[in-house]
Amino acid sequence: MESGKLHLMKFHRRWQILSYAEAVLYAVGIVVLFYLVSKNLWVGILSFVVSMVIILVIKKPWKHSLATTGNYIDTHIDEASFSTGLLLQPEDSLSNLAKLQRYKVSEELTKRLGAIQPPNKLKQAVLVMLGLVLLGVVVQKLDLFKSVESVLRNSANETQIQFVATDSISDKSVIPKIFSQDISVTYPSYTRKGTIVVSNPNIKAIAGATVQWLLEFDNPVQEVYLDRMGELIPLQKGEKGYRIQQVVSESGFYNFKFKNEEGIEFTSDLFSLEAIPDNPPEIEILGLEQYTYFDFSDTKIVELQSAITDDYGIDEAYIIATVSKGSGESVKFREEKLNFKETISKGVKSVKATKTLDLNALKMELGDELYFYIEAFDEKQPKRNVARSETYFAVIKDTVSEQFGVEGTLGVDQMPDYFRSQRQLIIDTEKLIKDKPSITSKEFKSRSNELGFDQKALRLKYGQFMGDESEMEEAPAEIKSDEQGEDHDHAEDQENILKEYSHDHDGDNEHNLVAAEKAEEAEDPLHDYLHNHDDPEESTLFEESLKTKLRKALNIMWDAELHLRLNEPEKSLPFQYDALTLIQEIKNSARIYVHRIGFDPPPIKEENRLTGTIKDIENYRKNETKEVENPFEALENAVARLEQLIQQESTFNEADNALFTAAGNELGQLAIVNPSKYLQVLQGLKRIENNTGRTMNNYKFVQKGLLSALPKTPQIPGAKKEYIDEINSLFLKQLEVYD
């Protein structure tokens, strides 16, 4: 029985060892692949450690116990009868039958356990290892990828400032290189960000920050300068190298220049220096309508809730409230500065501020108006950014001034203080429709009737331009009063019975002249074209078409008023829109009235009229030359010159330096605004000037960038090429012969 348990433990140990061996085979294949690709021993060692840990975590060979080994044997050896677990239990705790079964299982395992293999995939691991090794050999032979060492070196050089010589150098010349570079950005004190060390020479910092460069060279250099958009600033030499500080005031670009001991000038690539502006605070007022109206019996309180945020910190915020009292020339204003309930700490980036505005506490009365807005400041130095919200209004309705009455001989005020425009009526009607579910039926009808009265006032106002009489005027004197009685009317009718058949020489219609005049007037062909000032509708400055539109607008206003009086604002709204459209057309048409009468032609000389003499008549000619400045002339010429260099029609000459310098100056203006887009193109242009990038690839890259910088020109239509065959040509020639 002890021999069976011993064989079980050996099988368990072999299973674990093979699991570790399987993991090692996978890791070896990965190591060889990475080493052959990178050609770096340390990369191979690192890949072995990482892959070994990952594979062991996946397989977990240490979790194989004797119990799991016994379960595996029970499923693969039928003679074990699922009794392998008896070998792991103490003999004293087993019954006689169990001891017999244990003895039987021990004998079977001693015979058969050596022929069973653990469930390891050792052959698969060997094949994977050989495949990875073969892949590494193929990659190394074909050189499909660059080595990891060069990739790491290139990634390190991306942030390292590199210099190239502007002139030709000899083989014996020593080229200085940067041994160490330190770039630090010191933010303004109010931002609370302190000093940040950056490695990328392309710098983005808030406006007002100070940037410091510290450069150390491996060989002696002379005259180190910072070229900031054409301004050369010398660097100060210290114990640890060359140092310079610059304040970020605006976006631009820069590069470094120096000379070695032999006097050869070196320059670096261009780098961006982008100034990020400090934005003013943002103010948001929550859950408050811009206009709030209160009746006399209402609780006159406005709950103001706001959210104020800033990118670096808020300095202070408060409410500016202005109370307006009175009307007309007697209006008075009182302005107050109110603080929020919450105390706003300096430097906090976000705060929710609230305030309860009590109109009674502000000593407001009927008809008074309150205008208030929020004003916030940040901590920017030396001048703070300020932001203010929209202005909100709170009005206490003056119900006394809106009432009127008619008693006895007391006249009605025909003209209100002001007329609402048609656009204001539309806005108020839409608001009434929106508020209909939330107001009482009585208030809805009252407001609809008031809008109808305003529509009537507006209609009467426009009716004055058409010569309409006001509805409130007295009746004409010709209209007889009913007090004269029906007898007078009957007698008058009796007297006029024979008027048609009599010849009244004393009447106005003597010899039927009036009838003749009416007939002539009806037959007058110029009647429709005359401007009769006796007709009130003709006594206007408007032309016929404008009068027609205005009359149509007045008729539409009638319909709009009708539906408002009937408490149907939904039906009135389309008529109001039509009236507004016609009024706008009338206003636009009236603007050209001056142009129609502005030309006064010179008088005609009758002695020269119709004589056909053109002796003293000369044509008027005026020649004027205007020079249009092209802000991108150098860029266009540089694109054309680069095309010649690409096509190898000519070689680079000294005149090209001036051309590309001028193109660089024009492109620099665009690079200041958008350095991320044009900085690389500007660098390529500088390389062409410095004779360090006069290659075909750089020519094409710079030309493509310059074309993207040029503004798009409108398409100019050209002649369309059409195919004409020989038969059609002969036919056309034959037609010309007989023409």
Instruction: Spell out the residues 6+ positions from residue 275 whose beta carbon is closer than 8 angstroms to its own.
Output: 205, 206, 207, 248, 249, 250, 251
| Number of CB atoms found within 10 A of residue 706's CB | 23
Same domain, 376 and 236: no
Between CA 69 and CA 9 the distance in angstroms is 9
User: Residue 617's CB: how many other CB atoms inside 10 A?
Assistant: 7
* Contact present, 249 and 177 (Cβ < 8 Å): no
Amino acid 370: pLDDT? 93
Q: For residue 106, what are the domain limits?
A: 2-142
Q: Tell me if 505 is assigned to some domain.
A: no
Last residue of a domain, one of 371, 400, 429: 400
Q: Pick from 339, 306, 309, 307: which is nearest to 321 by CA?
A: 339
416 versus 375: the higher-pLDDT residue is 375
Q: Which of 75, 162, 165 is nearest to 116 (CA)?
A: 75
- pLDDT > 70? residue 51: yes
pLDDT of residue 594: 40
pLDDT recorded at residue 147: 44
Q: Is 611 left (phi over 0), alpha (psi -120 to 50) or beta?
A: alpha
DSSP 531: -
Whole-angstrom distance, CA of residue 225 vs CA of residue 715 = 46
Instruction: Kindly report the CATH number assigned to the domain that includes residue 356.
Output: 2.60.40.10
Residue 727 in any domain: the answer is no
- 74/83 Cα distance (integer angstroms): 7
Could you tell me if residue 111 is inside a domain?
yes
Compute the chain's Rg from CA coordinates: 50
For residue 461, give every residue at least 6 positions away whose Cβ sits within 8 Å of its Cβ, in sequence order, or none.
419
Same domain, 374 and 355: yes
- In the DSSP assignment, the letter for residue 15 is H
Query: Which of 373, 400, 427 is the C-terminal boundary of a domain?
Result: 400
Task: Please tell me the distance from the alpha carbon of residue 590 to that of residue 546, in angstroms, as a whole number.
Answer: 8
Instruction: Say yes or no: 253 and 367 in one domain.
Output: no
Average pLDDT over residues 526-532: 46
Mean pLDDT, rounded, for 183-195: 91
The answer to the question of residue 349 being in a domain is yes
pLDDT band at 315 (very low <50, low <70, confident <90, very high): very high
Label the pairing between strands 203-206 and 241-247: unpaired
Name the residue with tokens 């001989």: 409
CB neighbourhood size of 207 (10 A): 16
Q: Does the residue 171 lie in any domain?
A: yes
CA dihedral 157, 161, 166, 167 (to 10 degrees): -60
**What DSSP element (H or E) covers 564?**
helix 544-565
Same domain, 192 and 112: no
pLDDT score of 444: 92
- The whole-number pLDDT of residue 472 equals 45
Report pLDDT for 405: 42
Residues 21 and 105 in one domain: yes
Q: Give kind and range of the element (H or E) at residue 546.
A: helix 544-565
What's the whole-number mean pLDDT along residues 316-323? 94
The tens digit of pLDDT for each residue in 68-95 reads 666 666 655 655 555 555 555 555 555 5
pLDDT, position 388: 93
Mapped onto helix, strand or coil, the DSSP state of residue 320 is strand
Which are the contacts of 69, defined by CB distance < 8 A and separation ≥ 6?
Answer: 8, 11, 12, 15
The answer on 583 and 464 residing in a single domain is: yes
556 CB-contact burial (10 Å; exposed 0-12 / middle 13-18 / buried 19+): buried
Which among 52-56, 301-305, 733-737 has the top mean pLDDT? 301-305
Q: What is the pLDDT of residues 88-131, one digit of tens each?
A: 555 555 555 555 556 666 666 666 665 566 666 777 888 888 88
Q: According to the model, what pLDDT value does residue 185 have?
A: 94
Evaluate whether residue 512 is within a structural domain: no
pTM greater than 0.75? no
Instruction: Give the Cα separation of 312 and 345 in Å (integer).
Output: 13
Cα distance between residue 668 and residue 677, in whole Å: 11
Whether residue 288 is found in the same domain as residue 429: no
Average pLDDT over residues 298-311: 93
Q: Three-state secondary structure along 99-150?
A: HHHHHHHHHHHHHHHHHCCCCCCHHHHHHHHHHHHHHHHHHHHHCCCCCHHH
pLDDT tens digits along 442-494: 999 999 999 999 898 888 888 877 666 555 444 444 434 444 444 444 444 44
DSSP element (H, E) containing 213: strand 210-217
- Please indicate whether residue 123 or residue 441 has the higher confidence score (pLDDT): 441
What value does the mean pLDDT take over residues 728-736?
77
Question: Strand, helix or coil at 419?
Answer: coil
Residues 425 and 547 in one domain: yes
What is the predicted pLDDT for the residue at 92?
A: 57
Task: Choose among 574, 562, 582: nearest CA to 452.
Answer: 562
Q: If you ran DSSP here, which 8-state letter would residue 371 be given?
A: E
Q: CA-to-CA distance for 365 and 337, rounded, in angstroms?
A: 20
433 and 573 share one domain: yes
Whether 650 and 684 map to the same domain: the answer is yes
Band (pLDDT 50/70/90 cuts) for residue 415 is: very low
CA distances from 334 to 98, 300, 648 (A): 106, 18, 79
* Residue where a domain stops, chosen among 276, 311, 336: 276
pLDDT in tens, 6-20: 656 676 677 777 777
Give whole-number Cα distances, 721 to 203, 266, 275, 714, in Å.
54, 55, 53, 21
Residue 448 token pair: 């609809």
Tokens of residue 174, six digits: 């020593």
- Is 79 a member of any domain? yes
Q: How many residues does the chain have?
A: 739
In a domain, 681, yes or no: yes
Question: What b/e sequence results for 250-283 when a residue is b if at least 16 CB atoms lie within 10 Å of its CB, and e otherwise?
Answer: ebbbbbbbbbbeeebebbbbbbbbbbeebebbeb
Same domain, residue pair 130 and 12? yes
Contact predicate 246/211, CB 8 Å: yes
Q: Supply the pLDDT for residue 522.
A: 43
Residue 90, token pair as written in the block: 């103490």
User: Would you say 81 and 106 are in contact if contact means Cβ atoms under 8 Å apart?
Assistant: no
Specify burial of residue 50 (Cβ count, 10 A radius: 0-12, 13-18, 19+).
middle
Question: What is the domain count for the chain?
Answer: 5
What's the number of CA atoms in the CB half-sphere (13 Å) around residue 245? 8
Single out the residue of 461, 448, 413 nearest to residue 566, CA to CA: 448
Please indicate, yes or no, whether residues 293 and 426 belong to a single structural domain of this protein.
Answer: no
